[in-house]
Amino acid sequence: MLIPFNDDNPLEGITHAYVTWALIAANVLVFLAVQHGYRAEIDVASAFGFGAIPAVVTHAAVLPAEYVRLPPELTLVSYMFLHGGWMHLAGNMAFLWVFGDNVEDALGHARFLAFYLICGIAGGLAHSLAMPDSASPLVGASAGISGLVGAYLMLHPNVRIWVLFFLRVPLRIPAIWPLGAWIAFQLWSLAMSGEQDTAWWAHIGGLVTGAVLIVFMRRRGVPLWVMTRDGTPDGRPPV
């Protein structure tokens, strides 16, 4: 398991990643206020009321009235701000903290917010279409985070990032290795999951959407697939 916690990749087009910070704050506040974060797991009312339920999204089933909080279409956004527990939240927020600012830098604030939400919606739709009869609520920011992973790899595959190997050993390695391993794990998990109610299709949907959108949404002059910057292998200017 590789958990990112920092990258050597300074901002160039913006001074502060306001939208990234706001998204992290929103996820944490929802967890504390809506989900009552003292609980070990998400409560049923929050999961069914604000989670994206494939059978409801595809109109194959109707949610019982006591659980309805939003129209099914809007749950494709609200599900992104719910999490199954503290570890689920912390893992997603770590990825958002490390990779969000540089993708926001490449897009600009407003387009980054649109990008993140579109990736999350696309992931929710991919999951719903792959499992149209599933009655299990989909929750978590993973599809939006997957979009960031796809975009970051398209932008900065060789920038060095710090990761924790099995939550213990810090390593500083090019982004393409841990993120490539993460993508391989998603594909392997999808191939092995069969017909179970998992979120792997949400991850793949968000990933592909992010990799495609960054090509068209990035600010003018922002290059793709930069292997080095100023001739150095880790993305930092020479000293």
How many domains in the chain? 1
Task: Report yes or no on 236 lying in a domain.
Answer: no
pTM of the predicted model as reported, rounded to 2 decimal places: 0.90
Helix or strand (DSSP H, E) at 169: strand 169-174
Task: Report yes or no on 45 lying in a domain.
Answer: yes
Token pair, residue 219, equals 């600010």
Helix or strand (DSSP H, E) at 50: helix 44-50
Return the pLDDT at 230.
Answer: 44
Q: What are phi and psi of 164, to 5 degrees?
A: -100, 120
- Rounded-to-integer distance, Cα 87 and Cα 89, Å: 5
Task: Report yes or no on 226 lying in a domain.
Answer: no
Order of all β-strands in the sheet with 2-7: 2-7, 160-165, 169-174
What 3-state class would DSSP assign to 225? coil
Q: Which among 104, 101, 143, 100 has a CA at the least distance from the CA of 120?
A: 143
Token pair, residue 183, equals 């993508």
- Rounded-to-integer distance, Cα 183 and Cα 149, Å: 9
pLDDT block averages, 10 residues each, the chain of length 239: 86 96 97 80 89 96 94 97 92 96 98 98 96 94 97 96 85 93 88 68 96 97 75 40
CATH number reported for the structural domain that contains residue 80 in this entry:
1.20.1540.10
Task: Report yes or no on 230 lying in a domain.
Answer: no
CB–CB of 69/117 below 8 Å?
no
Q: Which residue type sits at 239?
A: V
* Domain enclosing residue 179, as ranges: 2-217
Q: Which residue type sits at 223?
A: P
Return the pLDDT at 176.
Answer: 94
Task: Report yes or no on 222 lying in a domain.
Answer: no
Task: Report yes or no on 27 lying in a domain.
Answer: yes
Token pair, residue 204, equals 């793949």
Task: Report yes or no on 14 lying in a domain.
Answer: yes
Residue 71: CB partners within 8 Å, gap ≥ 6?
A: none
Task: Report yes or no on 44 lying in a domain.
Answer: yes
